[in-house]
A and B are shown apart, each in its own frame.
Chain A
Amino acid sequence: MKLTIQVNEGPYQHQASDTAYQFTKAALEKGHEIFRVFFYHDGVNNGTRLTTPPQDDRNVVKRWSELAAQHNLDLVVCVAAAQRRGIADPDEARRNGKDADNIAPGFRISGLGQLVEGGIQSDRLVVFGD
């Protein structure tokens, strides 16, 4: 089955990103195709490489980056939600006159059309959030 995953909450405060990660990993292990993982609302905060959790805890951001590298996942951060919350790649930083970017490896910033397309192209849209 072809799946699009939507993550609506940031790391650590809510379990949504953890559950989405576990679900995505399990779906891949079962042979399902992940068309896209789309990060929306505070979910865009899963895409900052500046996160530094204590060493004895899971690293939510790094875990997504590693899964993306392993399975060539398309991790998309919503541009409008990202701008509000200070998530930027080099292009976005330059365009908005910022002095730094913080996008984590494996993530890319794009528009909401990518979420709608995920809903159209996939057999199921699976949403993780509050």
Chain B
Amino acid sequence: MSEIKKFMYVNRKAPYGTIYAWESLEVVLIGAAFDQNVSLAFIDDGVFQLTADQDTSGSGFKNFSPTYAALGDYGVTKIYVERESLEERGLSLDDLQQLTWEDEDEDYAEKDSIRLVSRAELAEILAEQDVLFNF
């Protein structure tokens, strides 16, 4: 690959009312094979995608939330969650899955993938990206 670009996948919608969240995750998993500098952002209702203990048995939808825990193995280690979006929905970091990745450079130390950022901080991170995928 000629150059490495900063790819960010921006997730804005709740996990099951529409298919955007799941089909976004499919792009992330395929895109991981392309060795780009990848990060994910969760804003607005998108923060619900990461909530722990999801149970879809009543709706018939496939519960794809365990897939987020596999992202670390795909080399996706930067997951930004917007603090204001959480707070506006009565959520905190404790309501989300714990997502981790193993740092090869530090004897496979387990590190948190989720980075809680303010709306202003996220705006700066967005501005640094080369490619933004909006879902």
Contact status A120-B5, CB under 8 Å: yes
Q: Select B36's contact among A81, A113, A120, A125, beta carbons within 8 Å.
A: A120
A80 to B29, CA, bound (A): 13
* Contacting residues of chain B (107-135) with chain A, CB-CB under 8 angstroms: 131-134
Contact status B1-A112, CB under 8 Å: no
A116 to B7, CA, bound (A): 9
* Contacting residues of chain B (1-38) with chain A, CB-CB under 8 angstroms: 1-3, 5, 7, 19-20, 23, 26-27, 30-31, 33-34, 36
Contact status B132-A112, CB under 8 Å: no
A130 to B8, CA, bound (A): 18
Main secondary structure of the interface of A (DSSP, over half): helix
Contact status B31-A116, CB under 8 Å: yes
Residues from chain B with Cβ under 8 Å of A40 in the complex: 23, 27
Name the interface size band of chain A. 10 to 19
Known contacts: A41-B19, A41-B20, A115-B27. The answer to whether A120 contacts B34 by CB under 8 A is yes
Contact status B23-A111, CB under 8 Å: no
Q: Give the shortest distance, in Å, between B43 (CB) and chain A (any CB).
A: 15
Contact status A129-B134, CB under 8 Å: yes
Residues from chain A with Cβ under 8 Å of B27 in the complex: 40, 112, 115-116
Residues from chain B with Cβ under 8 Å of A113 in the complex: 30, 33-34
* Contacting residues of chain A (76-130) with chain B, CB-CB under 8 angstroms: 80-81, 84, 111-113, 115-117, 119-120, 125, 127, 129
Residues from chain A with Cβ under 8 Å of B34 in the complex: 113, 116-117, 120
Q: Give the shortest distance, in Å, between A110 (CB) and chain B (any CB).
A: 11
Q: Give the shortest distance, in Å, between A99 (CB) and chain B (any CB).
A: 26
Contact status B33-A127, CB under 8 Å: no
Contact status A116-B5, CB under 8 Å: no
Most chain B beta carbons < 10 A, residue from A6, A81, A112, A129: A112
User: Lowest 7 CB-CB distances: which A-B pairs, in order?
Assistant: A112-B30, A119-B131, A116-B31, A116-B34, A125-B131, A112-B27, A127-B134
Q: What is A's interface to B at a CB cutoff of 8 Å?
A: 6, 40-41, 80-81, 84, 111-113, 115-117, 119-120, 125, 127, 129
